């Protein structure tokens, strides 16, 4: 299981599509906000050997805790999920300037209300992600600054998590 996490505009979908193309698979996109029942269904549907653009429990801790001040999952839920699934987490973070540019450019499929809340809270969201991600075993990904060797290593690690661990 490979999970791509990070703020809106951090390059998760772009990286997911690159990995999927490289390994002839399809990424599963868990989009924006959802109610608690939907979040739990998304979490239960996650399986070994799959590529995910977001993990409901991680995103909800960051976004729910920052925007609503009441996340629907706890750190205990996250620890349980990590122990059970042992995923590879790739934390996408191209830096605040790039995030702001990408958010302002927007995508037509994005909910304007959600993007507005993200824009209002982008500094706090970045801090929340940084705080959470330094506590987890992650590969940090900044699409602006990677050598060919680094990209190849990340792709090989993804191969292990997408194939041999099924």
Q: What is the pTM of this model?
A: 0.90
Domain that holds residue 114: 2-164
Q: Rounded to an integer, what distance in angstroms lies between the CA atom of residue 30 and that of residue 43?
A: 10
Domain count, the chain: 1
Which residue in the block uniquely carries the two structure tokens 């801790």? Answer: 61
Tell me: pLDDT of 147 over 50. Answer: yes
Q: What is the CATH number of the domain that holds 106?
A: 3.40.50.300
Q: What angle do CA 134, 114, 74 make, to 5 degrees?
A: 40
pLDDT single digits (tens) 43-52: 889 988 899 9
Please tell me the distance from the alpha carbon of residue 57 to that of residue 43, in angstroms, as a whole number: 7
């Amino acid at each position: 299981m490979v999970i791509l996490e990070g703020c809106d505009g951090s390059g998760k979908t772009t990286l997911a599509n690159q990995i999927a193309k490289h390994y002839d698979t399809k990424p599963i996109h868990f989009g924006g906000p959802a109610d608690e029942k939907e979040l739990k269904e998304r979490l239960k549907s996650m399986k070994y050997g799959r590529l995910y653009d977001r993990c409901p429990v991680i995103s909800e801790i960051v976004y729910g805790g920052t925007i609503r001040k009441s996340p629907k999952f706890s750190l205990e839920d996250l620890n349980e999920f990590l122990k059970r699934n042992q995923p590879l987490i790739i934390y996408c973070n191209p830096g605040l300037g790039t995030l702001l540019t990408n958010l302002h450019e927007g995508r037509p499929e994005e909910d304007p209300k959600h993007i507005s809340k993200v824009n209002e809270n982008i500094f706090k969201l970045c801090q929340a992600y940084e705080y959470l991600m330094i506590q987890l075993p992650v590969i940090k990904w900044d699409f602006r600054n990677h050598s060919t060797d680094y990209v190849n290593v990340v792709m090989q690690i993804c191969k292990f998590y997408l194939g041999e661990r099924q």
